[in-house]
């Protein structure tokens, strides 16, 4: 399984737009920072044709320590969830990839 890094995304932006690599890297950094800021403010971030990121509050609950089996309290926390768009779902179901592009 391959991991897509920020550098991979910057390379893809560079190839697709012709922007200098440094500008492409700054663009990717700005985009990820904008997404993070909106999510930390509790807003939903929707990328058309890709999906939506949303912050969800999870309540505290009791779990178990996997090593000892003893009960353990799992504290309340905020988590980010992702819901893919129908377009992305269709692409995944079809097993399609963009003409050999990796990122």
DSSP helix/strand/coil, 63: strand
pLDDT in the model for residue 99: 46
The CA distance from 12 to 23, in Å, is: 12
Q: Give strand pairing partners of 53.
A: 45, 82
pLDDT in the model for residue 95: 85
Q: Give strand pairing partners of 82.
A: 53
Average pLDDT (78-95) is 95
* DSSP secondary structure letter of residue 76: P
State pTM to two decimals. 0.75
Q: Which residues contact 3 (CB under 8 A, 6 or more apart)?
A: none
Mean confidence (pLDDT) of the chain: 92
């Amino acid at each position: 399984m391959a991991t897509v890094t920020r550098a991979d995304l910057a390379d893809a932006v560079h190839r697709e737009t012709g922007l200098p690599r440094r500008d492409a890297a700054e663009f990717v950094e700005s985009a990820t920072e904008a997404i993070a800021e909106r999510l930390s403010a509790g807003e939903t971030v929707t990328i058309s044709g890709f999906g939506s990121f949303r912050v969800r509050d999870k309540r505290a609950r009791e779990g178990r320590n996997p090593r000892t089996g003893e009960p353990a309290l799992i504290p309340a926390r905020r988590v980010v969830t992702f819901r893919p768009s129908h377009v992305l779902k269709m692409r995944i179901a079809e097993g399609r990839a963009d003409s050999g592009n990796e990122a």
